[in-house]
């Protein structure tokens, strides 16, 4: 998929390599020239966070391309909103996107949080606080980490420390970050939870503690099992039991007198039922549950997706009230009541979408309706789910757009087909790119090196190294005569460079590809 490459920074796109000393022009969306300036390269890092490099240095730019802050380095190392990390001869440093200098360009590594920076030089670490504008040395350590809740964990000589807490010298046996806002801590007395301020919300007294999901935890203390929820002031026990609870990944099961009795979620009981023999987690918050007499059901977060009445051997996740199910080595579909609506007669089946699914009896796939009617004979190696009346099918290394009947929506096989969020299909054949509508009709022919859909009706296109912009109806906003075209949607501006070089190229018109109309004023 060599030509379908997106180089996106925010809403900004570069579709050609920057040259040295280029002249840049800025237009509004009415096509009027706003300003021009000379830069070797320009980057729009985020919403109106614009940087440029020329012979005088690397700068943070105003929307009209005026240098406003000297970034003191040679290149942008990384943009992690709201921080701009800049690389220089002696190392990397940091600026806030508003232009405030935070750390000099002398560190080997910098990690970021909304209002904090953690910097490393050798084995020494520093913390920068945006609220005070000051940098503090944290000391030497084997390693350090800036957590998702803004805390810093230092590890040194086998012990862990919280240098930003009220007791920075206090050692811990373990400090572990999880998905939520709390740190799991271990001391000699046991496990506990620590909040963003570095204070215990659950004292370190538990024999066992491990995260489940979000701010929820599974614990054990003496002879009882606990489900715990962390809160900023104090953690709460949401469920406790003296019966055995097992945890296998995200699967929590409770046994009473040695028999499986309850399926648990993060904060309590999801299902309490007698006669369960086996529970499998097949997808997030989705369980297949087998009862005595070999009845099986499918349980979701809000209750039964498939009532436990089915004689199937297994049931998969489904859509539109139909669920793939296996019996005697063959697949069919059951309803939410657990009844077979399409008998098990296929080697494999897909998931219904728009009342159409895929099936195979041998090596190839065809399509089937929700009533069980065969819509097309199996001839494809793969078929995706249907969306907007179309699916993508693969055969012998080529990709096709097909209708539920199996007929072609586009008349030929392609090297690549990608459906975009705007509903278009970005396609490639013989190293050339084109654009199809949601119905498979040609919007842009297979004649471009690259196509970027900026908005529903605005495309940046590249051919023979030159860039321009076009609309879905064929109008040309900017002709194919620029080395680079970039869009700042927040400021409603278009940045271009290389027009003089482009004008010397007599082959650089989009009309050479297809007849187009030039948008007035562009």
Give me the mean pLDDT over the 396-425 stretch: 96
Q: Count Cα atoms within 13 angstroms, Cβ side, for 339.
A: 2
Burial state string for 189-199 with b = 16 or more CB within 10 A and e = fewer than 16: ebbbbbbbebe
| pTM of the full structure | 0.82
3-state secondary structure string across 49-76? EEEEEECCEEEEECCCCCEEEECCCCEE
Report the pLDDT value the prediction gives residue 521, as an integer from 0 to 100. 27
Q: Would the pLDDT of 6 be above 50?
A: no
- Residue among 124, 98, 129, 99 nearest 112 (CA): 129
pLDDT score recorded for residue 12: 36
Output the pLDDT for position 505: 37
| Confidence grade of residue 37 (pLDDT, cut at 50, 70, 90) | confident
Average pLDDT over residues 309-337: 97
| Mean per-residue pLDDT, 424-435 | 96
Say whether pLDDT at 47 is over 80: no
Give percent of the chain above pLDDT 70: 91
Q: What is the DSSP string of 434-467?
A: EEE-TTS-EEEEEEESEEEEEETTEEEEEETTEE
Tokens matching residue 107 = 């560190």
Q: Map residue 80 onto helix, strand or coil.
A: strand
What's the pLDDT at 45?
A: 87
Tens of pLDDT along 109-130? 999 999 999 999 999 999 999 9
Residue 2 has pLDDT above 80, yes or no: no
pLDDT of residue 21: 56
pLDDT digits (tens, 9 = 90+) for 368-395: 999 999 999 999 999 999 999 999 999 9
pLDDT reading at 260 higher than 90:
yes
Cα–Cα distance for residue pair 253/260, rounded to 1 Å: 7
**What does the domain layout of the chain look like in residue ranges?**
1-48+420-522
Compute the average pLDDT of residues 129-135.
96
* Sheet with 22-28: strands ordered across: 33-39, 22-28, 493-497, 484-488
Helix extents (H) in 323-455: none
Which residue shows structure tokens 């023999």? 277
Least confident of 20-29, 52-61, 477-486: 20-29
pLDDT band at 41 (very low <50, low <70, confident <90, very high): confident
Q: Choose the weakest-confidence range: 182-191, 221-230, 357-366, 459-468.
A: 459-468
């Amino acid at each position: 998929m060599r030509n379908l490459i997106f180089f996106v920074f925010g809403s900004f796109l570069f579709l050609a390599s920057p040259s040295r000393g280029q002249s840049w022009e800025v237009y509004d969306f009415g096509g009027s020239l706003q300003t021009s300036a000379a830069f070797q390269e320009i980057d729009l890092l985020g919403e109106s966070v614009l940087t440029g490099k020329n012979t005088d240095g690397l700068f943070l730019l105003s929307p009209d391309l005026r240098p406003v802050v000297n970034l003191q380095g040679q290149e942008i190392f990384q943009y992690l909103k709201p921080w701009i990390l800049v690389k220089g001869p002696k190392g990397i440093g940091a600026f806030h996107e508003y232009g405030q200098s935070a750390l000099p360009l002398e560190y080997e590594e910098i990690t970021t949080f909304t209002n904090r920076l953690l910097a490393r030089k050798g084995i020494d670490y520093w913390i920068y606080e945006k609220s005070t504008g000051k940098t503090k040395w944290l000391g030497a350590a084997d390693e350090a980490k800036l957590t998702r809740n803004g805390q810093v964990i230092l590890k040194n000589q086998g012990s862990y420390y919280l240098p930003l807490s009220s007791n920075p010298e206090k050692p811990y046996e373990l400090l572990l970050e999880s998905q939520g806002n709390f740190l799991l801590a271990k001391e000699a007395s046991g496990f506990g939870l620590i909040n963003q301020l570095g204070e215990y919300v659950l004292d370190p007294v538990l024999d066992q503690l491990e995260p489940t999901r979000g701010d929820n935890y599974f614990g054990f203390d003496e002879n009882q099992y606990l489900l715990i929820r962390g809160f900023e002031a104090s953690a709460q026990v949401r469920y406790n039991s003296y019966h055995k609870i097992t945890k296998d990944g995200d699967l929590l099961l409770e046994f009473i007198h040695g028999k499986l009795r309850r399926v648990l979620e993060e904060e309590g009981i999801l299902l309490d039922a007698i006669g369960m023999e086996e529970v499998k987690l097949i997808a997030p918050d989705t369980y297949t549950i087998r009862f005595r007499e070999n009845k099986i059901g499918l349980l979701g977060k809000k209750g039964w997706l498939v009532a436990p009445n089915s004689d199937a051997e297994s049931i998969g996740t489904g859509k539109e009230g139909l669920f793939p199910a296996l019996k005697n080595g063959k697949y069919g579909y059951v309803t939410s009541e657990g009844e077979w609506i399409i008998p098990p007669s296929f080697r494999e089946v897909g998931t219904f979408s728009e009342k159409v699914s895929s099936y195979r009896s041998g090596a190839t796939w065809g399509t089937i309706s929700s009533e069980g009617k065969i819509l097309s004979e199996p001839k494809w190696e793969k078929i995706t789910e249907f969306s907007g009346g179309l699916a993508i099918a693969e055969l012998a290394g080529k990709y096709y757009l097909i209708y539920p009947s199996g007929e072609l929506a586009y008349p030929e096989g392609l090297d690549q087909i990608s459906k975009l969020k705007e509903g278009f299909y970005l396609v490639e054949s013989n190293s050339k790119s084109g654009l199809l509508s949601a119905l498979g009709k040609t919007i842009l022919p297979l004649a471009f090196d690259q196509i970027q859909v900026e908005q529903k009706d605005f495309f940046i296109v590249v051919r023979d190294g030159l860039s321009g912009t076009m609309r879905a109806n064929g109008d040309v906003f900017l002709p194919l005569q620029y080395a680079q075209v970039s869009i700042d949607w927040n400021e409603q501006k278009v940045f271009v460079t290389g027009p003089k070089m482009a004008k010397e190229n007599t082959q650089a018109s989009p009309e050479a590809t297809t007849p187009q109309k030039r948008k007035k004023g562009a």
